[in-house]
Structure 1
């Protein structure tokens, strides 16, 4: 992170996006940086080493997905995608290519700032010592492989724990079905989404106050899941 204010590079060719997002970022305690094209954005990432990047997919000189792929060759910070494209396939491809999150246009500034905070927390926690992760009454002790709810131990199978740990270590990042399936069950099961639904359902029964209205493991329909930590 920067020694002063965290720097956020916004790569978007729409002047109105910069006009309202720049002041909003500034008011939230960030230093906004601007790029109006893909090439300018890549130069900006290399030159400024921003703490996070907000990237539009519809750029005038190159597709934002190509910017994302090229940026991931040398940049490890959070990249949040903005796009008017609402197809699930676009979201999944962007996330699989290394994006941390995805917002559809039009979007609310409040939501973008919340997603940005989550991505920056995830980045900071990745560098921090591994400790328990909490969500309400639920605590996941990654070192001891133990899950408790309200102080009581919750019995989970090894696969359930592995899936829960993978979600929790995302610290709010949206993880695609494919991400989770490959990480927990291996590449041969990359498309077996029914496995995932069953195991997520089992975890919700054990952890959520109301499994029908989950607040710990959220669903992004057709895309994946997100763990909501304290």
Structure 2
């Protein structure tokens, strides 16, 4: 009950005594990281020696650099942050627009299509965004060969 009172008076956390020293140091380090805010640099390795820079909204690869729009970069960043999870279109909409002047949900499909088209050649035809029909999208860091042929990708995109 005493811990509840401490929390109600504004404390962020209360640790029982005694506390493991290693855990205590780890908790302090986590608080320090949180206090510094988001990291200045957020790089994600992609297939074919490409790197996504979420801060700059670029994908750098051996042949050059691809510039994504701010919205495209935000979509790709969300997918990379949720690596291993399926991200619903609704989650992407909330991440991008937070309820303000939201376009139709179909815009998410359009944005994913644009990202795929821009990264198709730099990634050697390897896709990094898996469509989970009826559920959303998932970032696949090692990439995969899409079921569509190159000609269909260009026609669709």
Q: TM-score, normalised by structure 1?
A: 0.38
When residues 220 and 190 of structure 1 are mapped into structure 2, their CA distance, relative to the original with a 3 A threshold, is: farther
Aligned length: 102
Residues 146-172 of structure 1 show CA distances to partners (whole Å, capped at 9, x for unaligned) of 322335110211111111111111122
Matched, 1:164 2:76: yes
Partner residue of 1:175?
Answer: 87
| Preserved CA contact (<8 Å) 1:132 1:142 | yes
When residues 143 and 188 of structure 1 are mapped into structure 2, their CA distance, relative to the original with a 3 A threshold, is: closer
User: How far apart are 1:189 and its partner, in Å?
Assistant: 6.6
Residues 149-200 of structure 1 show CA distances to partners (whole Å, capped at 9, x for unaligned) of 3351102111111111111111221101100111012225778321001110
Matched, 1:196 2:112: no
User: How far apart are 1:210 and its partner, in Å?
Assistant: 10
Larger radius of gyration between Structure 1 and Structure 2: 2
| Preserved CA contact (<8 Å) 1:160 1:203 | yes
Residues 125-144 of structure 1 show CA distances to partners (whole Å, capped at 9, x for unaligned) of xx9x7641112033111244
Residues 48-89 of structure 1 show CA distances to partners (whole Å, capped at 9, x for unaligned) of xxxxxxxxxxxxxxxxxxxxxxxxxxxxxxxxxxxxxxxxxx
Gaps of 5+ in 1: 1-126
Partner residue of 1:135?
Answer: 46
When residues 133 and 151 of structure 1 are mapped into structure 2, their CA distance, relative to the original with a 3 A threshold, is: farther
Matches within 5 A, 1:9-28: none
Residues 88-147 of structure 1 show CA distances to partners (whole Å, capped at 9, x for unaligned) of xxxxxxxxxxxxxxxxxxxxxxxxxxxxxxxxxxxxxxx9x7641112033111244432
Name the Cα RMSD after superposition: 2.9
Partner residue of 1:62?
Answer: none
When residues 189 and 195 of structure 1 are mapped into structure 2, their CA distance, relative to the original with a 3 A threshold, is: farther
Partner residue of 2:134?
Answer: 222
Higher relative contact order by CA 8 Å / sep ≥ 6: 1 or 2? 2
When residues 202 and 144 of structure 1 are mapped into structure 2, their CA distance, relative to the original with a 3 A threshold, is: closer
